[in-house]
Structure 1
Amino acid sequence: MRGGYREGSGRKKGSTHKVSLSTVQGIMQKEEFQSPLEIILKIMNQAYENEDYKLALEAAKGAAPYMHARLNEVNANIHHMKRIQEMSDDELHYFINKN
């Protein structure tokens, strides 16, 4: 039998694996808490000061997704051509002398 209720399945009552929002907020409010971004930036700055540019570059690559949004590709089809009869003299002159 597939789907539906099955005896003994699912999370057990009183299970402590689920983390509550208040627990997460409590951890984040502690003074020693550092976000992943803060840690990466600290490593990057220390590496740069110690002239370990390879490590600084790797840390910067790790921090980039936190700092800069990824640009999405935009497709724009802008190939509207006028008929020859609709073109001005300047436009005709441009196309004739283009090559």
Structure 2
Amino acid sequence: MTEHRQRRIGGARPGAGRKPGIRNRLTQESVAFARETGETPLAFLLRVMRDEDAELERRLEAAKAAAPYCHARLSAVQVSGQVAVSHEEALAQLA
């Protein structure tokens, strides 16, 4: 009978995986592109969005892609508490 070795599958292994602080391949490529062209992907999207000669559909797609990096996404907030004065009463107090 031959001796079978058990292989470890999955789980943490010493020395495996990306080292702490090392950027992933996509991030490295983005940084390299920005260095080579002098333009970040966000700056490119904003330039396309502002290009009046570009097709409207292309400008809209660039605006949609850039929006999350320029404007915070608002979220719903639960309001709790008692309202002591009605809207009408507050207006009457101002008059």
With normalisation by structure 2, the TM-score equals 0.48
The structure number with the bigger radius of gyration is 1
With normalisation by structure 1, the TM-score equals 0.47
